[in-house]
Amino acid sequence: MGRFEGKVALITGAASGMGRAICRRLADEGAAVMGLDIDAGGLDETVALVTDAGGTMRGRRTDISLVAECDAAVAECVDAHGRLDILGNVAGLSWARRMQDETEEGWDAMFGVNVKGMFFLTRAALPHLVAAGGSIVNIASNAGLMGQAYCVPYCASKGAVVNMTRAMAMELIKTPVRVNAIAPGGTRTPMTENFELPDDVDFDLMRPYMGFREMGTPEQIAALFAFVASDEAANIHGSILSADSGLTCG
Ligand SMILES: NC(=O)c1ccc[n+]([C@@H]2O[C@H](COP(=O)([O-])OP(=O)(O)OC[C@H]3O[C@@H](n4cnc5c(N)ncnc54)[C@H](O)[C@@H]3O)[C@@H](O)[C@H]2O)c1
């Protein structure tokens, strides 16, 4: 028996990187997965990977920055599967820009996905998670725990994820729902593969967040996610779990 046999998981960012790896891992361990992403093509690929391996997954093209879309996605998930046990808030936007080059549109887009989307999808899922005694796992970042030059809006949004996780955990502490965050460090995904730096960056300023060890893999984050979402982590609530090869320990 897999740890998630009979459980239903709703995972954002399912078309790529960590979200895809998390869908595969949870489905491998028996969950019925519904994946959300704005990228319909990538989502289809994830569904094919999961179902070809014998797992159960459906995808829904969803822009989580729109509250009505969050509500509709949760309703569709519960209509299809009758319950919701695990919410994985994985989708995120990230880029590097000098402060003076950031725009209002950029700020709103980043906060729309990283903060607002996470909050309103959680709001929609909450009654079902309470009914199931479920688990919420938010993907934060080492950027939510330290200051990174050229990443001010991203750091602000991930700092919000860190403290939103704690605030959710406090508000839900008398319910059976658990809320935690994983704070990955640099991880090999399309996000980092396509990362562009501003011209003439000062690498001295970036050194504190370049790290000393190799980048992690999405599968490592998926393994931690599966543990945190499982009953084995029953006493882990309101925690920010770093998986960053020591980036934030110094
Ligand atoms: N890769 C890293 O080094 C790293 C480190 C720390 C934290 N993170 C965080 O991990 C999470 C996953 O990142 P990843 O590296 O897998 O990136 P990724 O770019 O591979 O995947 C992110 C996914 O989010 C989706 N997305 C973007 N906007 C959306 C929207 N409006 N609605 C629905 N989906 C949307 C994208 O289409 C994409 O499929 C993000 O929250 C990211 O900030 C990444």
Residue pLDDT, tens place only, 225-246 = 999 999 999 999 999 999 999 9
17 pocket-lining for ligand 1 (C-beta < 6 Å): yes
Does 246 reside within a domain?
Answer: no
Q: What does the pLDDT read at residue 208?
A: 87
Does 53 reside within a domain?
Answer: yes
Of the candidates 154, 183, 225, 228, the residue annotated as catalytic is 154
Does 242 reside within a domain?
Answer: no
Over pLDDT 90: what percentage of the chain? Answer: 97
Mutate to test the pocket of ligand 1, among 18, 25, 120 (most ligand atoms within 8 A of CB): 18
Evaluate if pTM is beyond 0.85. Answer: yes
- Residue ranges making up the domain that contains 73: 8-237
What are the pLDDT digits (tens) for 156-205? 999 999 999 999 999 999 999 999 999 999 999 999 999 999 999 999 99
Q: How far is the CA of 170 from the centre of ligand 1 (A)?
A: 26
Does 189 reside within a domain?
Answer: yes
| Dihedral-angle region of residue 93 (phi above 0 means left; psi in -120 to 50 means alpha; beta otherwise) | beta
Tell me whether strands 56-61 and 32-37 are parallel, antiparallel or unpaired.
parallel
* Catalytic residue flag (residue 154): yes
What are the pLDDT digits (tens) for 131-141? 999 999 999 99
The whole-angstrom separation of Cα 237 and Cα 142 is 19
138 pocket-lining for ligand 1 (C-beta < 6 Å): no
Q: What does the pLDDT read at residue 129?
A: 98
187 pocket-lining for ligand 1 (C-beta < 6 Å): yes
Contacts of 94 (CB under 8 A, 6+ apart): 110, 141, 143, 151, 154, 191, 195
Check whether 250 has a pLDDT greater than 90.
Answer: no
Q: Provide the CATH number for the domain around residue 211.
A: 3.40.50.720
Does 249 reside within a domain?
Answer: no
Does 232 reside within a domain?
Answer: yes
Q: How far is the CA of 203 from the centre of ligand 1 (A)?
A: 24
Check whether 1 has a pLDDT greater than 80.
Answer: no
Does 247 reside within a domain?
Answer: no
Structure token digits, residue 215: 């980048």
Does 3 reside within a domain?
Answer: no
Residue of the CA atom closest to atom 17 of ligand 1:
191
Number of domains into which the chain is organized? 1
